[in-house]
Amino acid sequence: MKKFRIVLILMVLLAVLIPSAVFASYDVYYCSIYADGFGDGSYEYPWACSTEAEFDDAVDLICDYGGGILYEEVEGGYYRHTISWYGKACEVTSSKYYQGYPPDTGITLPPPFVISAALVLGLSLFAVGLVVYRKRSANNI
């Protein structure tokens, strides 16, 4: 029973710690030619980047944050810009056009929720299997 409690505690710790680490690793920002004002860079409130100056302002902000990925929404698709530091200069290191919508813009389930749900499901299946095993071994079946 002691081993089961230790495994249970470890699974709960994993369910709490892993999602927060995964969520913290996202450095993704959005800008759109359709946005009117200067939002917060999220998908819901993208930065305006209909002109070159607005795009440069967005890149400068991402450089201030230490770099990241900028999805620029345009008509019919989006550009994926990778912005990173090289020496003392921060610049757009790669850009590529894709058709459709940027990734992770569909259902708004945060990754920590999905990972936690999977861990809880796995822990539940493990616990049920352990209970069935103990009942069978107690009845000598």
Q: In the chain, what are the domain boundaries?
A: 2-139
Segment 49-59 mean pLDDT:
89
What's the order of all strands across the beta sheet hosting 89-99? 47-48, 28-32, 68-74, 77-86, 89-99
Which pTM does this prediction carry?
Answer: 0.57
- How does pLDDT run across 33-50, given as a tens digit for each residue? 888 777 888 888 888 888
Whether 52 shows a pLDDT value over 80: the answer reads yes
Mind spelling out the 3-state secondary structure of 85-126? Answer: EECCEEEEEEEEEEECCCCCCCCCCCHHHHHHHHHHHHHHHH
- How does pLDDT run across 82-136, given as a tens digit for each residue? 988 887 888 888 899 999 888 866 666 677 888 888 889 999 999 999 888 888 8
Identify the pLDDT of residue 116: 86
Identify the pLDDT of residue 96: 92
Q: Which pLDDT band holds residue 18 (cuts at 50, 70, 90)?
A: low
51: left (phi over 0), alpha (psi -120 to 50) or beta: beta
